[in-house]
Amino acid sequence: MNTRVDDDLIYLRAAGVSVLLDVSERRLPRIAHWGADLGDLAAAQARAVVESGRGGYAFGGLDESHEASVIPEPAWGWFGTPGLEGSRAGRHHSPRFEVRALSRDARGEGDASVQELTVAAVDDAAELGLEIRLQLLGSGLLRTRASLTSLGGDAPYELDALRLLLPVPAQAREVLDFTGRWIRERTPQRTPLTVGTRLRESRRGKPGHDAPFVMALGEPGFGFARGEVWVAHVAWSGDVRMMAERSREGATVVGGGDLVRAGEVRLEAGDTYVSPWVYGAYSAAGLDAAAARFHRHLRARAGHPHRPRPVTVNTWEAVYFDHDHDRLLALAEAAARVGAERFVLDDGWFRHRRADNAGLGDWHVDEDVYPEGLGFLANRVRELGMEFGLWVEPEMINPDSDLARAHPEWIAQPGDGRLPLTARHQQVLDLTHPEAFAYLEERLHALVAELRPAYLKWDHNRDLLEAGSSVHGRPIGRAQTLAFYRLLDGLRAAFPGLEIESCSGGGARVDLEVLERTDRVWASDCNDPLERQSIQRWTQLLVPPEMIGAHIGPPRAHTTHRTSTLTFRAATAMFGHLGIEWDVTSPEAVEARDELAAWVALHRKLRGLLHTGSVVNSDVDDPACAVHGVVAADLRSAVFSVASLALSETSTVGLVRLGGLDPDVVYRVAPLAPEGAGEGPGRALPRWWVGGASLTGRVLAERGIQVPALSPEDAVLLHVVAEGTPRDR
């Protein structure tokens, strides 16, 4: 409910979260409380909440203390990192905004509801206008963004940074964020939150394989199901700056914005800069509950992919650049036989693309390889009952391409007559150049109109380095990202129903803003199930399973050369948007075809649960074991995975807890595997394994159940089904 409890306070509540905003003294909004639901508050009670949280006089400090707004201002005594940094030729570097107007709005229902406060403020001396939008969504997510407008001035306002920062209480003394690399995205790292700044930046023109992804602040030792947690995420697909900061005075904030390069944002009179959304998720009980808020938000959107996610076969690891009519047709037929529903032609179909050093930018079907065009393959795929998909990498260009030879001025460059260093034999196509953008737009629309793909795998392999405009030389990272959004928006508008995957050398462009325009992310180029166990677990902190591409690769992983069983590969991929990245015509695949088809059939049977339920991760003390699952929305069924990631120091991992179930319902727990799927665990089977076990949800969550002793790099699935109704309510 969106309530103005008096002239100075706004109180918002949704899904167990309360946000109390102080808008007194015509100052920018200050968040007096963001966290657990405080219940109904009368005006006097709300005022008491605000007053009881205010700091006292600090010896040696300012004569009067003031709480920081969501864009902290040094003009109100903030000694930490300012929310706004910039100047007009060095002047007006410390604005003090005065609120001129407030408006409130409430719309929608359930998880799709929005309660919004919009604040309009001005600094007359600096000739700056500021609008702040703050929303509490039906999922309990808090999000905010700002717009800064130059209202005049004798010089442009040069923006250096605009950050939106959310307050968290003192008990949040530990930070979880992420780093990573190609084929090992979203590697967690924890640090104590001490006095000072925990700053994470991405300067790759995209979030990057080493992106912070989210920043979670919580009680020391917080886990998936324990501890209060406040999670922040910057929804932006370009350069990102995130920070958590604890001041000497004791205030703690978390948030960020996009990273603006020097000279990148110059606001002439009338120009407006709009920041990314900064999201915040509060949980009273660990990371899973915070993740559930992101998942509920994404699933409540009108454009969320609600139809069953098609099982996808991708050709990359089957043929690489060696495209051949007969081989591709055989692949398509074999894919259909194992139950695939989508066939994606990866890199290598366009002009001059016989290796990765040429052709990017020449977005025409290669006549030498496909003299009759690609229509024959697309049509055959559809005849086999599958959708046709296509790989593209529109934002990149090979110097060895017809496009680069015809238009070298379209290559992004630092502006001094030289080109940046190459990466993967690639440069960046300057999408801010109007003619380059028009070329790409025409080519993409023409290809989709001609071939009618249901799906585009949109890749972005090269980091942006020294990416400047070929016209004026200034940095283009922000404008490049906005142009990328325009390309996606234009395709979606022109071709309703077209699905797009955000791939960026794997999982280097995963954020909530790109997910407003795409239908899934490619979590990693690594299909090794051992690495994927961690990559998928942490990607699900933000993204629901149905939007995470997870493929069954060959027995020997292309990226790590590690070998694994089909059971381990399939059980790992089961929990995402399932696909196959394996030459299904190879002898080893033909031998395993029936078993592979059985895993595909099992996934298709269970995906209604796997792609709509709540993700549950168990806090397991043994790092050699990972336990996770999905519980149906009605709590009547669930599927869990128990994976052995390494050789445990003990013979068995002990009792495994299965959370998220109704504590008062009796459930039947039984092993789950398709018929003919390997031999399964063959030793140290618990007594209940053959006939199943009947236990309450409370017993499963609090005590747990014994599982077989697994070999390293193996997994078992458990099917949990309610046997009755709650006993005592």
Q: What is the DSSP letter of 362?
A: -
Rounded distance, CA 408 to CA 471, Å? 12
Of 210, 288, 347, 459, which one is the catalytic site residue? 459
403: nearest Cα among 430, 369, 373, 371: 430
| Cα four-point dihedral sign 71, 74, 79, 82 | positive
459 catalytic? Reply is yes
Cα angle: 279, vertex 69, 289; to 5 degrees? 30
The three-class DSSP label of residue 241 is strand
At 498, list the tokens: 């077209």
Closest Cα to residue 99, out of 13, 11, 21, 5? 21
Q: Are the C-beta atoms of residues 172 and 144 closer than 8 Å to each other? A: no
Q: Are strands 387-392 and 455-458 parallel, antiparallel or unpaired?
A: parallel
Q: What crossing angle do the helices spanning 375-383 and 434-451 adopt, rounded to 10°?
A: 50
CB 236 within 8 A of CB 200: no
Decide if 185 contacts 213 (C-beta within 8 A): no
| Separation of alpha carbons 232 and 542, rounded Å | 10
Q: Which residues contact 59 (CB under 8 A, 6 or more apart)?
A: none
Query: Would strands 499-502 and 455-458 be described as parallel, antiparallel, or unpaired?
Result: parallel
DSSP string, 611-653: TTSEEEE---S-TTEEEEEEE-TTSSEEEEEEEE-S--SSSS-
Write the single-letter amino acid at 141: L
Beta-sheet strands, E only, within 352-415: 387-392, 396-397
Distances (CA, A) of 121 to 94, 153, 167: 15, 17, 21
Q: Active site includes 324? A: no
Here the tokens at position 292 are: 């559930």
CB atoms within 10 A of CB 303: 12
Residue ranges of E strands in 333-375: 342-345
- The label of the residue with tokens 């990416």 reads 467
Angstrom distance (rounded) from CA 301 to CA 335? 32
Around Cβ 682, how many Cβ atoms within 10 Å? 10
* Identified catalytic residue from 366, 519, 525, 714: 525
Closest Cα partner for 217 from 256, 246, 244?
A: 244
| Calpha distance 489→482 (Å, rounded) | 10
Token pair in block for residue 24: 């007194």
Strands 387-392 and 342-345: what pairing?
Answer: parallel
Q: What whole-number distance in Å separates Cα of residue 600 and Cα of residue 595?
A: 9
Of 67, 87, 10, 71, the closest CA to residue 43 belongs to 10
d(CA 222, CA 642): 21
CA distance 515 to 519: 7
Burial 194-203 (b: 16+ CB within 10 A, else e): eeeebebebe
Could you say which DSSP state residue 114 is in? Answer: E
Query: What tokens does 208 get?
Result: 């990057």
Which of the residues are catalytic?
459, 525
